[in-house]
Amino acid sequence: MPSPTIEYTPYEFIENLPSLSIGKRIVIVGESHDGPYYEPIIVHNMKVAEGIYQYGPLLERYRDALQVDDSIEVIFLRIEENRFDKAYQVLLSYTFDLIYFDNFNFGKSEEDIQKYLDFAGEKEYQGELVHGFFSIEPHDDLDKINSIISSFTFDNSIDIQEMGKYISLVLNQTSGYVGAMIYAALVTSLNPEVSPVNKQLDIYLHTEYTKNELLQFQKQGIVAFRSSILNGNVISNATCAVQTPGSVHKSISNFRISQHLINELSNVFHNEIGEVQNEIQINRIQALIEEKLQDFIDLNRIRQGDYTIIANNIQGEINIELEFVPIFTTSTMTGHTKLNIYR
């Protein structure tokens, strides 16, 4: 069994590679034959992937992604078997948007699921929104999975929490590819104001469901594929693992708009790190927020937006609470980002 020690091996393939765009930063977590453990590496094409990792599940999932978008670029994170907990430790300080976990066996261990939710919650507390894609099989215990999804929504005495917003559960109905990776690549390839529903996919389905079954999956918070007369095989629904009817957190499109807004603000705030915290700085931050909200209105991503700034001079933190209405709904979403001045 490989050593858990993190390797720092130089690879000629990865020198001076440009970073990925916000919203397009998807991490694939899994195993491979070679390559460094627990070190996120941007992969711009299959040649780079094969040069570093040779072969194995990481490359197979990348091939799945390329089936959707042959120009997609990803971040590989090689782990030992089922050591997702170590992946969280590494990625807690690494900036990304989306993540696919290979061979996670969702539903087998509720402790593993909770570790992911804790990780995603901590990332949001840091001012970054992340979303994970998990595969489930048609022969899995879907009643048990439905019960798990139900547990993601609860009242913490302050507000209703819908932790399922961090998760897409995808039925693996595809032949030759993993459905969750196909869906993750599709979501990654689209701008946030574009829904992944009914986008044509060059895949074959080995399992299909009736209209009533598909509607039930939508209610349960499970993503499924279907055959369409007009568009061939497509995504039937784009739900997060949220069961609350009419919830603004149920739609992946709403989440993606929120994610882009928060992560783009987090990115522009970097220039403020190390600056003196005073009224001039607060005014600059206000201007940045207002400009970004207007950009999102102009891009037809949100209908309107507002914000509140709370400065903590002692801890050197500036917390920003956002309220906005995504274009796909008339309900208000809230978001949070923060700036650590002394970081």
**Digit-coded pLDDT (tens) for 4-29:** 444 434 444 444 445 788 889 999 99
Check pLDDT > 50 for residue 3: no
- Domain match, 195 and 336 both: no
| CA–CA dist 155, 127 (Å, integer) | 22
Same structural domain, 181 and 121: yes
Q: How far apart are CA 331 and CA 131, in angstroms?
A: 21
In the chain, what are the helix, strand and coil shares in percent, each to the nearest 5? 35, 25, 40
Answer whether residue 281 is part of any domain. Answer: yes
Q: For position 310, which CATH number holds?
A: 3.30.360
Model confidence band, residue 239 (pLDDT cutoffs 50, 70, 90): very high
Q: What sign for the dihedral angle of Cα 282, 322, 288, 122?
A: positive
Phi-psi region of 215 (alpha: psi -120 to 50; beta: other; left: phi over 0): alpha
pLDDT, tens only, 91-122: 999 999 999 999 998 988 788 999 999 999 99
As a whole-number percent, the residues of the chain with pLDDT over 70 amount to: 90
Does residue 143 lie within any of the structural domains? Answer: yes
**Tokens 């998990």 found at:** 134
201 and 283 assigned to the same domain: no
pTM attached to this predicted model:
0.90
Q: Mark whether 285 and 218 lie in a shared domain.
A: no
Q: What's the whole-number mean pLDDT along residues 238-245?
A: 96
Same-domain pairing of 68 and 164 = yes
> Which pLDDT band holds residue 272 (cuts at 50, 70, 90)?
low
Same domain as 150, residue 217: yes
Provide the residue range defining the domain that includes 336: 273-340
Please say if the pLDDT value at position 305 is more than 70.
Answer: yes
Q: How confident is the model at residue 169 (pLDDT cuts 50, 70, 90)?
A: very high
Cβ atoms of 180 and 170 closer than 8 Å = yes
Q: What local confidence, expressed as pLDDT, does residue 62 receive?
A: 98
- Tokens, residue 213: 């079954």
CA dist 34 and 140 (Å) reads: 31
* Statement to judge: residues 102 and 151 lie in one domain: yes
CA distances (Å), 284 to each of 10, 289, 343, in order?
40, 9, 19
Domain boundary among 187, 219, 235: 235
Residue with the larger pLDDT of the pair 127 and 47: 47
Number of structural domains in the chain: 2
Q: 194: domain CATH number?
A: 3.30.1490.450
When pLDDT is cut at 50, 70 and 90, the band that residue 275 belongs to is low
